[in-house]
Structure 1
Amino acid sequence: MAFRSTSNNVTHSKLGVWEIYEDPTTLPRKRWPSIEAYAIIKTAAPYVVRMLRDIASIRECWLLLAGWVTVELVASLVPAIALSFHGQLLTVVQTAVDHRTVDPHLLFTVAAGGLACSLATRLLRYARARISAPLHRRIKSYYSVHIFHAVVRLDVPTYDDPAVQHQLEQAFPKSPHSTIAFDAVSATLRLFSTAIQLTSQLPVLVSVLSNQPDGPLLVFLCLAHAFFQWAKVDKPFIGHGVWAATTTDPDYIKSEGLKRAVTNPIHRKEIVASGIAPSLLAQYRQAVARIADRAGDFYEVVASATTLRDGLSINVFIQEVLRSMPEIAFALRAVQRPSSIPLSLASLNLITQTTQGFTYTAFSLFDDTVTIANKLAAVRHLYEVTKIPNRVKVHVPKKDSIIDEDDPSLGVPFPEDQQSLELGISIEFRNVSFKYPGSDEYALRNINFKIERGELCVIVGSNGSGKSTILKLIARLYDPTEGLILVNGADIRTLRLADLRRAISVLFQDYTHFPLSIRDNIALGDPEHADDLDKIRRAAELGGADGLIERLPDKYDTYLERPVRDYYSTLPEGMTDLFGRPVDYGRVREAGGMANAEGGGGAGNRGLSGGQMQRIALSRTFMRSVVSDNSVGLLLFDEPSASLDPTAEHDLFERLRNLRGSKTMIFSSHRFGNLTRHADLILYMNDAEVLEEGTHEQLLAQKGGYAQIWMLQACAFLS
């Protein structure tokens, strides 16, 4: 592994295919509790108090927590009691060597005490498991709601921010089997338990070993060995400071890309249909051959390098010497006083075991302090993540301030008269320009138009012209970079966000299907009527999805994508087991109702086409816009017929025109169909600008871009 310094004093080293960069100006983490750790603990203390109050509020959790504390307290005292009995055993051995007699009562007491300590340890371990398991489940359930709330409240630009994503990751447990709050409680209890264990053991250890032959010498040797072993374990290959590792090896990058391509189910159909599997295999073989022994996962390579580095280090030789020194001291004493061999052997075993155990416990106390700091810092992240400010704010003109949307009472109520929604909502853009976060290109440039209440507006133009962006700004997923948007004549930024979004029904081009049943997917359009199957069926009928849903085995209870995967044994299907029997999961799949390929088992969409999937998404929009007739005044449809055939598209537009009543409806589309003939207003867009506006007849008369594309599409349809 070669080292060199870069121009900015960052140390660069190469390990296999990996390039490692370390900043030597950052201080490594100490092995003892640092000032930084204590500062972290102090800062996190208020959040820990809040966490404990929250845990105590969970049903019966305070009883479980009290039981767990009691068990840990008793368990921390058992080692000292066991050590006391071991010391008495040495007394029995000493008496036997000096006087050739044994006190049966004392021997029985020592044996019974040792057995009782062993049983107590086992029972306490069992009690800890019985208490911690339900406590963990209840804490995990409680904080799953906490995290769900923290994530679901975020708006689009905030959630898309990589810094916010990183902050969310810090608040999530590192493993699906763990919980930040439970880990913090567990680590804290372990720290206090360790401290009590050391405090109770120390006087007993001193009392037992002070009168033993060569006791201080053996204790020193055992302490030294334990220290060097702990120091070795705690020394990483890469420093604790700031470092980064990357690879630019083209063969390694390509080989990893090929592995992902063949293991990701999304690519499987194309690999099979195009017959490129042999080519992928050949490319992978070539890349692996060129990499040779330089390849490997980063931490795998680091672990291998660590093993090689430490294999013949001075530390290892010192450890081996110190490991043998107690036996050498025992041998010298045995040569000098052969009669003391039984006592010396017992002393050696007791001193070695107890001293090493005590030392490791003491060292773990130092390590646990830093661990506790990290655990408590995670608790702080867990609570602070609920306070991430959203980018989309409510402007309160009277207070001349900006307030986060989390308070639903802030902002101007919309509309003032709920019945007015039946007449639609007016939308006006004044000199609106917009850039997506992180982009230097305008998605909209100086847009001006007005859509009156109850009008049908169709926004047409090529892909990427800005049609979808207009709908996103109306739904206030983003705020314009420049300009003003008026809703019923009021600045959209002053309106209560919850009221505004409740009054709008929107279907975006990049619509999604939630990992829920079809019934729940449609019902999300109007959660208040989620249990009304008749309304759900009506929405499905209007969306054109009722026929395909009825043909599915589970009908409305069908999951397009199961959120829970199925599990199978490790034997690959198609091979033979150890007894020569073929491995076939067909019968267990059939017995468990699991799918062979499409659908169940956590993958697939039941073989539905893109048009059929879009009809289900449309049904959710109909559930909101038609079934909830009095609460929606503006309908937004972004390419609603992109995946539909011409007949289904025509039927959809007819249903929408007939059912919208007096509500305002805005469509975006790159296909000029029958809908534009009935539009009150057409906006023709290109390259982020509105170039033409008017009715169908007016735009045809202008003979501009709209008329040209209309004629091209009409000729293509007729031909």
Structure 2
Amino acid sequence: MRSPQYYRSNMRHRMASRRLLFPADFQLTHKSSSSKSQQKGPQNVYDAWLASRELPAQPGHYLVPGAPRPLTMENARLALFITKASTLDFFKVLFELNPLRTTLMMSLNVVRSLFPAFRGYSQALIVDELQSLIASESFTWSRLVYLVSTEVIRRVIEGCLDSFAASNENIVMGSARFYIEYKQMEQRVRLDVPTLADPGVRALLQESELFARSFTGSGFGILSPLEFIHIISLLTEIFSHIILIISLTRGVSHFGILVLSIFSTMLPMILSWFTCQRQETETVGGLKEARAADRQERLRSLAYSDLHRPEIALFGLGDWILKSWTSARKIVLASEQPYYARNTSILDQFNLNELVSAVQNIPLLLLFQTSSASLGSLTVYRTSIQSLLYACRNLVSTSKMVFQGIFLMSAFTASTKLKPRLNPRHDDVVPYISQTGGVSITAKNLSYTYPGSSEPALRNINFTLEPGETLAIVGYNGSGKSTLAKLLLRIVDYDRGSLLVNGVDIRRYNPAEYHSHLSAVFQGFSKFSTTVKENVGLGNVDKITYKPAIETAVHLAEADTLVKSLPTGLKTMLETPGYESLSYPGMMMQEDTTQRHGLSGGEWQRIALARAFMRANEPGIDMFLFDEPTSALDAHAQNQIFDTVAKISRSPSGERTKTVIFITHRLSTARRADKVAMMENGTITEFGTHDELIRKNGTYASLYRASI
């Protein structure tokens, strides 16, 4: 059995991922052998990221997303390549978010790294004065009082500076965190279904998500993408202690004390470990913040859910999701105050452990009575060596985390270059031009196979539909009806054949532009965890706040009575399946004080119809596609809906203005259509008018007679 630490990716998917990211490089890599590619090294950040996940001597086997990379020479070279290729540009972007505060943060970190060495030297002066007090009767207390007072003032200033630096760093990291999370959300709502179905892309996005979450302290331990600043601070601290130790070491006696100090420091440093880790943030407490937290997670669910992807693409919800999430996220971030900033005082920074350690050296006074060495030098040795060991240990652990963080950052960088697979090349784009009377469709030998499946879901689909005609697609369950609908709506791409819309290859249309001329009800339509108003208004986000448009859509869907029966009408919050169990790492759980109302299947279906009808009267809408739009409605309600569809697909004078396609199991409604397509086993076996198919006396005729 394969280890759970890796999985084997299909080579076809791997190469498809490369083509998505870097089309030009793909052609070069595809032509060259794998050995040559390894000799030349990675061509881009994505290549380096993918190579870092590949297990040594096991081609085609990869670490699971998020697994730490082993520290090898090959991975070190990959990390160096990524650093040169993207790290500087990435940190330049972060720097430009808050240039003054970022500069201040870096400067303060370096300054604060000098504190330990200066602190040890200051304590040494105090101990030397105390030694003189005991050894000499001519000593005056004023000097000792002055040094102690200076030490107290220094510690107070140091505490204030630490508090300010922590507050400033929180602001800088908050800005960076918001930027990364926004880019993550932006990518999710921009990518289409075929792109997200690719396993290589999914792995890339998972590690990109880990990188985004590392700004909150999760991920690999306490990894933060800005740990490189910590490395600089640690190096500065190490060098400052080394310089201090060298400056004090004069002669054999000092060298002996240094050796003694090193020996004693190797013992367990008990006092240095008695620290309590504080909780950095508190949960959101106010009602406004709680609602914002709830809304941001619902929008996050909307952006990340594959279930909602078709309607996000069709109705162009990407910008609306980003705008709404931004508004809610800013409220949540504003409420997250640093815990230590509110609940600690300067006295908390006043650490007495080091002073106690210094006092413990007094019994060694007699040791130095006959030596030129002082007790202060022993204090400096001990504190500096302790700090050196602690800093070196931190440097090693931080360097390991930074090493892992480089590969997570490469995933984020590579993910920002992902292009939706359905988007045509710039040179191939053809603007969509609305035709009088709706769209014309010509399908020739269309075939489609779902990723990972060996059997095609569609094969050799052929039909022609003229502008303004109505097509009914019927057939058994699993015959490919819904899959064909997704092809026609440009949600997925076909493998072979051709599909012309208004005489133009559908692949040459920009999907977003094409979708703006369509409206649809999917069989598995989305049930958004929000108000009735938003559930309906999402069908046309430009009018989501325009109540008359929403009321018109509700009326067209015959949902007036339903809305009036709800507790607060259009403002009623709807309960959706699975919402209560929805959670994400770092999600702030709050008690939901808003009462949610559940709907039956038929009631939800009317809401979905109303959403589609939000575009009913919009200019430029050329096609309606309904996938089982009335499966949960009774026969009377079904007839009313189809009467409405027939009415809105024509002009006031009776001319046809829209092409209508509907999928149905109820063959009694199929006779309403101009054309009927009978599907079996992924292909159209019969196509024509209802009367023609009845006369043909085939499968359709048999099913129709059995249904009446």
Q: Is 1:387 aligned to 2:427, yes or no?
A: no
Show the counterpart of 2:532.
518
**1:628-686 CA deviation, whole Å, 9 max, x = no partner?**
1x22111111111122222222211111112111211011112223x322211001111
Show the counterpart of 2:238.
198
Shift of 1:701: 2.1
Out of 683, 689, 699, the residue aligned to residue 683 of structure 2 is: 689
Judged with a 3 Å threshold, the aligned counterparts in structure 2 of structure 1 residues 457 and 552 are, in CA distance, closer, same or farther, namely: same
Judged with a 3 Å threshold, the aligned counterparts in structure 2 of structure 1 residues 188 and 379 are, in CA distance, closer, same or farther, namely: same
Corresponding residue SS for 1:439: coil
Judged with a 3 Å threshold, the aligned counterparts in structure 2 of structure 1 residues 141 and 480 are, in CA distance, closer, same or farther, namely: same
Corresponding residue SS for 1:627: coil
Contact 1:639 1:668 (8 Å CA) reproduced: yes
Out of 659, 665, 690, the residue aligned to residue 648 of structure 2 is: 659
Shift of 1:621: 0.7
Shift of 1:344: 9.1
Q: Is 1:411 aligned to 2:406, yes or no?
A: no
Q: Which moved more, 1:505-514 or 1:33-42?
A: 33-42
How far apart are the structure 1 equivalents of 2:265 and 2:70? Answer: 17
How far apart are the structure 2 equivalents of 1:166 and 1:502? Answer: 31
Trace 1:696-711 onto structure 2 (pairs within 5 A).
696-711=690-705
Contact 1:515 1:561 (8 Å CA) reproduced: yes
What code does the residue aligned with 1:520 have?
E
What code does the residue aligned with 2:693 have?
L
Shift of 1:360: 1.3
Judged with a 3 Å threshold, the aligned counterparts in structure 2 of structure 1 residues 7 and 128 are, in CA distance, closer, same or farther, namely: closer
Show the counterpart of 1:373.
403
Q: Is 1:188 aligned to 2:179, yes or no?
A: no
Q: Is 1:357 aligned to 2:351, yes or no?
A: no
Out of 609, 612, 625, the residue aligned to residue 600 of structure 2 is: 609
Q: Which moved more, 1:460-469 or 1:146-155?
A: 146-155
What code does the residue aligned with 1:164 have?
V
**1:291-340 CA deviation, whole Å, 9 max, x = no partner?**
xxxxxxxxxxxxxxxxxxxxxxxxxxxxxxxxxxx9xxx99x97995979
How far apart are the structure 2 equivalents of 1:522 and 1:80? Answer: 65
Flag structure 2 segments of 5+ consecutive residues without an equivalent: 6-54, 273-356, 583-589, 651-655
Out of 556, 559, 568, the residue aligned to residue 570 of structure 2 is: 556
Contact 1:40 1:373 (8 Å CA) reproduced: yes
Show the counterpart of 1:55.
94
How far apart are the structure 1 equivalents of 2:689 and 2:601? Answer: 31
Corresponding residue SS for 2:526: coil
Out of 611, 621, 627, the residue aligned to residue 617 of structure 2 is: 627
What code does the residue aligned with 1:411 have?
V
Show the counterpart of 2:32.
none
Trace 1:99-114 onto structure 2 (pairs within 5 A).
99-100=136-137, 102-114=139-151
How many residues matched? 545
Shift of 1:160: 1.9
Judged with a 3 Å threshold, the aligned counterparts in structure 2 of structure 1 residues 109 and 55 are, in CA distance, closer, same or farther, namely: same
How far apart are the structure 1 equivalents of 2:579 and 2:141? Answer: 63
What code does the residue aligned with 1:48 have?
T
How far apart are the structure 2 equivalents of 1:510 and 1:187? Answer: 45
Trace 1:264-279 onto structure 2 (pairs within 5 A).
none
Show the counterpart of 1:650.
639
Contact 1:41 1:376 (8 Å CA) reproduced: no
Percent identity between matched residues is 27
How far apart are the structure 2 equivalents of 1:62 and 1:432? Answer: 54
How far apart are the structure 2 equivalents of 1:681 and 1:119? Answer: 85
What code does the residue aligned with 1:689 have?
T
Show the counterpart of 2:310.
none
What code does the residue aligned with 1:645 have?
D
Trace 1:39-50 onto structure 2 (pairs within 5 A).
39-50=78-89
How far apart are the structure 2 equivalents of 1:193 and 1:226? Answer: 25
Show the counterpart of 1:143.
180
What code does the residue aligned with 2:401 have?
T
Shift of 1:213: 8.0
How far apart are the structure 2 equivalents of 1:33 and 1:447? Answer: 52
Shift of 1:556: 2.4
Shift of 1:216: 2.4
What code does the residue aligned with 1:66 have?
T
Contact 2:601 2:632 (8 Å CA) reproduced: yes
Trace 1:95-174 onto structure 2 (pairs within 5 A).
95-100=132-137, 102-172=139-209, 173-174=212-213
Show the counterpart of 1:269.
none
How far apart are the structure 2 equivalents of 1:163 and 1:177? Answer: 26
How far apart are the structure 2 equivalents of 1:89 and 1:213? Answer: 21
Shift of 1:372: 2.2
Contact 1:44 1:379 (8 Å CA) reproduced: no
Q: Is 1:527 aligned to 2:567, yes or no?
A: no
Corresponding residue SS for 2:599: coil
**1:435-474 CA deviation, whole Å, 9 max, x = no partner?**
1111111211211111111101000011111111111111
What code does the residue aligned with 1:655 have?
T
Shift of 1:512: 0.8
Corresponding residue SS for 1:197: helix
Trace 1:307-322 onto structure 2 (pairs within 5 A).
none
How far apart are the structure 2 equivalents of 1:495 and 1:679? Answer: 27
Q: Which has the larger radius of gyration?
A: 1
Corresponding residue SS for 2:471: strand
Instruction: Give the TM-score taking structure 2 as reference length.
Output: 0.69
Out of 665, 674, 677, the residue aligned to residue 670 of structure 1 is: 665
Shift of 1:620: 1.2
Contact 2:121 2:380 (8 Å CA) reproduced: no
How far apart are the structure 1 equivalents of 2:74 and 2:261? Answer: 31
How far apart are the structure 1 equivalents of 2:73 and 2:150? Answer: 40
Shift of 1:109: 3.6
Contact 2:124 2:377 (8 Å CA) reproduced: no
Judged with a 3 Å threshold, the aligned counterparts in structure 2 of structure 1 residues 350 and 547 are, in CA distance, closer, same or farther, namely: farther
How far apart are the structure 1 equivalents of 2:2 and 2:161? Answer: 58
Show the counterpart of 2:507.
493
Judged with a 3 Å threshold, the aligned counterparts in structure 2 of structure 1 residues 122 and 38 are, in CA distance, closer, same or farther, namely: farther
**1:117-138 CA deviation, whole Å, 9 max, x = no partner?**
3223321221123212333333
How far apart are the structure 2 equivalents of 1:79 and 1:669? Answer: 76
Shift of 1:167: 0.8
Flag structure 1 segments of 5+ consecutive residues without an equivalent: 1-5, 11-22, 231-325, 395-402, 568-587, 600-605, 715-719
Displacement over 6 Å in runs of 4+: 23-35, 333-336, 338-341, 343-349, 562-567
